[in-house]
Amino acid sequence: MSVNCPMCNNVAMPAWKKIFMSPIGPVPCDSCDCDVRVTWTSYLLAISLGSVVFLLAYLQLNEGSLNQYLGYGLGFVLMLAGQVFFMPIYATEVPSKSDE
């Protein structure tokens, strides 16, 4: 499973690397010279469901119970799945050598 670059439509990175992407800095594409990035909006939307489940497990379930820890795990897995499957990446063009 891999993520395709929006610029060259080739493999940009493995899917597990997409989990570590953040809006703070772009990541270079493995196939071309462009950088791929995510926006704050898409990042926050991708992790929102998992964050809500995590917060509800913290607030509503008994402290130290197995159900609370299962809620934490479910929230964490939902955050990761949201990043892999629902967070789009965007290409940032790198200036060519003729532009320098």
CB 18 within 8 A of CB 3: yes
Tens digit of pLDDT for each residue in 4-26?
A: 888 888 888 898 888 888 899 88
CB 37 within 8 A of CB 89: yes
Tens digit of pLDDT for each residue in 41-53?
A: 999 999 999 999 9
Q: How far, in Å, CA of 70 to CA of 4, rounded? A: 33
Amino acid (1-letter code) at residue 39: T
CB 3 within 8 A of CB 12: yes
